[in-house]
Chains A and B, each alone.
Chain A
Amino acid sequence: MAVVSSTSSTVMNNVEAVRATLYEAMKNDERTVILGEDVGARGNVFLITKDFIGEFGERRVIDTPIAEASIVGIAVGMAMEGLRPIAEIQFADFIYPSFNQIVGEAAKIRYRSNGEYTCPLVIRTPYGGGVRGALSHSVSIEALFYHVPGLKIVAPAFPDDVKGLLNAAIDDPDPVLFLEHKKTYRLIKGEVPDGHYTIPLGKANVRKAGTQLTVVSYGLYLHWALEAAERLTQEGLSVEVLDLRSIRPMDKTAILNSVEKTRKLLIVHEDNKFGGIGAEISAMVAEEALFSLDAPIRRLCGPDVPSMGYAMPLEEEFMSSPAEMADAMRAMVKF
């Protein structure tokens, strides 16, 4: 699916893939600006934009006041007037003050102006737990936004997808919320093709083929699910793992194709279960493929509590482990 202009590749982790992609975007298009808290001299709290300010200058790498609503709002105005801003919310937990600018403004500008104005904007933000981030540095926010027509939401798990999807998000003529799981930033390494390429938004990817169960996931849990599926392989069981990559739009065809083959569906995500991404997938599969199913759909998701806690047991209890995922997969295969 990726349009690759080079056969060579480089091994990177996810944070390096974000950085390399942003760097190329800044090199390639003078209209691109980056704005957010501590993106300049500090080079972002994860060092994603380290040294950018020296190369591109403070007019293109903008250290904003601590004011999330206007970080997004100013980026919206820039996008309406011809720039290609990439706004950063330092942690996804801090995105709430900008909720109206994302949901009420960015997502509706093309629509409410009957196409006269557009909002080609990328909002990047690190999300997710497993890093002792407590209540305000751990949340998953995707379900709060995936209800919103006018937005696109991407949540890649692997560095090659980070690059291809971030390039696609930057090129996209509409606002894209780009979610980076911070636990994967340095944990996940992989080959990243050199040169410019894009991966279309809305296309899932079968990361592991199998025949007895479809597991749909994204972000950090996609990696845990792959690990769990590998354990089941050693037990002689065959699990297919689908990486959603894009949450809105979502790849219906890939999900249905897999479910038609395996006849069982498990959805695994870190975000809360109630009203989460898994609910929409479950409803879609029930509407479209109920009679292909040999077992009830199951969701293994974050519990219905406000957040994981800072204390280790309160984080571990919230998060699902590869072992728990393996148990759920085993039970479904044997159903």
Chain B
Amino acid sequence: MATTDLRTGSLERHGLSDEQLRGMFRNMLLQRQLDNRGFQLNRQGKVPFALGSEGHEALQAGAAMAFHRGHDILAPYYRDLGLCLGIGLSPFEIMLSIFARADDHNGGRQFPNHYSSKAAGLMSFSSILAAHLPHAVGAAYAIKYRGETGRAVLATCGDGTTSEGEWHESMNFAAVHKLPFVMLVENNEWAISTPLDKQMAQPEIWKRAAGYGMPGRRFNGFDPIQTYAAVKEAMDRAHAGEGPTLVEGTCYRYLAHSTDDNDLTYRTREVVQERRKDDPVPAFEALLLEHGIVTADGVAAMRQDVLRETNEATDAAEALPYPEPADLYKHVYEGAWEPWQS
């Protein structure tokens, strides 16, 4: 596969138009702005918790381009802001989640970043890592069972999740049944405070694919175009009924795990600064500038627009009410409910 090289500035488009490339870049800027806003709101005392995806922007903007809206299903995890934006969630929906407002898809019940939208094909998930992967596989089974063509499930997780038993169980079942399933691992090298070498002796996760009898591929997740190409190839296989694929994108977690984490307790600032030299957001900007896909003025206008959209989403969501106390009792089961039946 020909690849873009962000260092040499060569550009392999993989069929992406200028508009699509700009769309990916805008998604990356929006991710960074929304991440930043979540942390700001937390520091202002307006929200109790925020969690960022910085370092995952390119990977998620690229992967989302391979998702067929209205057809595919996304089974993400909690560090997937850009994927969720990329499949159609709006900044307003993100802010409803951050502010835990009544109009949030989850009704203000779940942590931020645990997005869910049946309309968008975004499966509800919990904070229990890998628990969503059997769900993704079950959904893929349903797609195949009904003979639906051109549909697939894109499931994601971090490197940490690949240690869970249900990661293995899901991969195995998907392979046995040749399901329309793509396992996208976003390898940012950290499971909260635990580095990769404490998680696994063999650090190339994609190689595990051979053990399941499915294709595997690793790609540079700092490159959105290469990400798109790898995920698209896997999704194409799934759409064509050729079975599951494991794709591993390498990236880095620039921020602490969440606003409740202090990463200086387990890694130095210098280490992170060194990795910042590869930051995918300015790198992709430089590439697009070099190839005339964006102009400096265009980028400035895009940044302004992203800031405006973030501000509007923030204000609009903040102005809305919390759920009512009585909402606590809804949706335990269908209909009204008491454990004691009379």
Contact = CB atoms under 8 A, between A and B. Distances in A.
Tell me, yes or no, whether A binds B: yes
A69 B143 CA distance: 21
B69 to A, nearest CB: 17
A83 B142 contact: yes
Contacts of A67: 165, 169, 172-173
B169 A77 contact: no
B278 to A, nearest CB: 36
Interface string B121-145: 0011010100101111111111101
Interface string A132-168: 0000000000000000011010000000000000000
B22 interface: no
A203 interface: yes
27 contacts: A59-B145, A67-B165, A67-B173, A69-B134, A73-B133, A73-B170, A75-B138, A77-B136, A77-B138, A78-B138, A81-B139, A100-B128, A105-B126, A112-B109, A112-B116, A112-B126, A113-B124, A114-B105, A114-B107, A115-B330, A150-B333, A173-B334, A250-B340, A250-B341, A251-B340, A252-B340, A252-B341
Interface of A: 33, 59, 64-65, 67, 69-70, 72-83, 85, 97, 100-101, 104-105, 108-118, 149-150, 152, 173-174, 202-203, 246, 248-253, 284
Contact of B339 (A72, A117, A250): A250
B269 interface: no
B339 A149 contact: yes
Nearest to B142: A81
B139 A116 contact: no
Contacts of B169: 65, 67, 69-70, 73
B162 to A, nearest CB: 15
Given A65-B172, A253-B341, A114 B135 contact: no
A64 B166 CA distance: 14
B267 to A, nearest CB: 30
A80 B142 CA distance: 9
Given A70-B137, A80-B139, A118-B334, A202 B145 contact: no
Given A85-B138, A113-B124, 19 more contacts: A65-B176, A67-B173, A77-B123, A77-B134, A78-B139, A100-B128, A100-B131, A104-B128, A104-B131, A108-B126, A114-B104, A114-B107, A114-B330, A115-B107, A150-B332, A173-B333, A202-B341, A249-B340, A251-B342
A200 to B, nearest CB: 8
A109 B117 CA distance: 12
B297 interface: no
B334 A104 contact: no
Contacts of B338: 249
A142 to B, nearest CB: 14
Contacts of A33: 145
Given A73-B131, A112-B110, A117-B116, A82 B142 contact: yes
A76 B135 contact: yes
B331 interface: yes
Nearest to B165: A69
Interface string B155-184: 000000000011001101100100000000
Given A77-B142, A82-B142, A117-B123, A111 B109 contact: yes
A70 to B, nearest CB: 4
Contacts of B139: 77-78, 80-81
B334 A174 contact: yes
Given A73-B134, A83-B142, A284 B124 contact: no
Contacts of B126: 104-105, 108, 112
B73 interface: yes
A85 B135 CA distance: 12
